[in-house]
Amino acid sequence: MKGLRPGHVPLERALSKLGIASRTQAREWILAGRVSVNGVVRRDPAYGVSPERAVLEIDGRRVARAEWRTFILHKPRGVVTTRSDEKGRPTVFSLIKEPGLHLIAVGRLDWATSGLLILTNDTRLSDWLTDPEHEVGRTYLVTVRGEMLESELERLRQGIRDDGDLLRVDEAVLRKSSRRESHLTVRLHEGKNREIRRIFLALGHEVSRLKRVAYGGLELGELEPGEYREITREEMERLFPGMPASKS
């Protein structure tokens, strides 16, 4: 980042990287004078620090990197992935009954989409999983209105321009089709905003149901909507070779 020394990040981001607060919460703490760096209170959220070297304190108590925690949640329809919602809708964070944890959602599923959502307090892991360069695939079960044709499946694979974006799936398998609706399995790795809904709508088929059933080698399995389970680091390393190593 411009103006920061190598290895340094803004103070608000450092607290987030340690897995102890969101950047919004960290900013509030800093502006309130609750955070000190190497014994000096810093009220500038952009103040540069090295998270691995600086002595950080909140209200005079030293903070350390939080224990690594990662979960898989079966997100129900009608639940949002933001931390709070102006409409008062439930959020995925209210479903994880683990006090004192600051988790972030790996990517987002929109309000009407259900299925597998990864939540973690490891920002490096989240960044790695969502980076298109790593080509981590996501698999969805898709129901659309109307009858899908094989010629349309080929267009999905070749790509469709929509609002300046090239939308394209890695794989599309037609499981069942009728004049009323069609059922497909779709796999992609990039995950642009509402990509699946947009690409099918461009073909004239509205998505009526969308469910993510896999993220890389991690599968939703038998989890019911609203249920979650914790994932060990060993399981994640086995399913996602190349994921960033843990920092102590």
Measured CA to CA, the distance from residue 110 to residue 199 in angstroms comes to 15
CB of 70 closer than 8 Å to CB of 117: no
pLDDT exceeds cutoff 70 at 230: yes
Q: Is this model's pTM higher than 0.85 or not?
A: no
Domains and CATH numbers, the chain: 9-62 (3.10.290.10), 70-131+225-239 (3.30.70.580), 137-215 (3.30.70.1560)
Measured CA to CA, the distance from residue 124 to residue 146 in angstroms comes to 41
The pLDDT of 9-23, averaged and rounded, is 84
pLDDT exceeds cutoff 90 at 136: yes
* Confidence tier at 246 by pLDDT (50, 70, 90): low
Instruction: State what percent of residues in the chain have pLDDT above 70.
Output: 98
Per-residue pLDDT, 71: 96
For the segment 187-212, what is each residue's pLDDT rounded down to a tens digit? Answer: 998 777 788 999 999 999 999 999 99
pLDDT exceeds cutoff 80 at 65: no
DSSP codes joined into one string, 105-170: ESS---TT-EEEEEEES-HHHHHHHH-GGG---EEEEEEEES---HHHHHHHHH-EEETTEEE--S
Neighbours of 135 (CB within 10 A): 11
Per-residue pLDDT, 107: 84
Measured CA to CA, the distance from residue 231 to residue 241 in angstroms comes to 15
Rounded alpha-carbon distances, angstroms, from residue 208 to 10, 12, 105, 155: 42, 40, 24, 20
Q: What DSSP element (H or E) covers 70?
A: strand 70-75
* Confidence tier at 8 by pLDDT (50, 70, 90): confident
The pLDDT of 30-48, averaged and rounded, is 94
Q: Distance of alpha carbon 182 from its chain centroid, rounded?
A: 28
pLDDT exceeds cutoff 60 at 2: no
- Give catalytic residue positions: 110
CB of 49 closer than 8 Å to CB of 37: yes
For the segment 83-122, what is each residue's pLDDT rounded down to a tens digit? Answer: 877 888 889 998 998 877 788 899 889 999 999 999 998 8
What size, in residues, is the chain? 248
pLDDT exceeds cutoff 70 at 35: yes
Measured CA to CA, the distance from residue 243 to residue 143 in angstroms comes to 32
Instruction: State what percent of residues in the chain have pLDDT above 90.
Output: 56
The DSSP code for 99 is T
